[in-house]
């Protein structure tokens, strides 16, 4: 399975970026997945997320089979944004995996 990994923290003071990255990489290794793209961002959820958009472009090109995130709140800017992107990924046939949320 070709995976895209996404990690994000809201501020530079948050210390979970390394924790997120390690957990995402461990998941890929345990599932024998191939990491095609791994992106990290620092910034609040309301501003533009260029790295997330790069991951969505990879999904639209079908370069990846699934996107893996640490938690849902790291991906969605709002509930509407989360639902919209999940719906788009489903229509593309690209999976979405959150390590801490069902």
Residues with active-site annotation: 10
Q: Contacts by 8-16 with C-beta closer than 8 Å and gap 24+?
A: 8/40, 8/41, 8/42, 8/43, 8/49, 8/52, 8/74, 8/75, 9/41, 9/42, 10/42, 10/43, 10/44, 10/45, 11/42, 11/44, 12/42, 16/70
């Amino acid at each position: 399975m070709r995976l895209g990994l996404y990690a994000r923290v809201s501020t530079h003071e948050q210390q979970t970026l390394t924790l997120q990255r390690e957990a995402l990489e461990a998941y890929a290794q345990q599932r024998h997945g191939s990491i095609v793209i791994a992106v990290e961002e620092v910034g609040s959820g309301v501003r533009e997320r260029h790295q997330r958009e790069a991951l969505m472009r990879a999904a639209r090109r079908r370069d990846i089979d699934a996107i893996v995130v640490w938690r849902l709140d790291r991906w969605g800017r709002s509930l509407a944004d989360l639902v919209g992107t999940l719906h788009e990924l489903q229509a593309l046939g690209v999976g979405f995996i959150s390590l801490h949320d069902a």
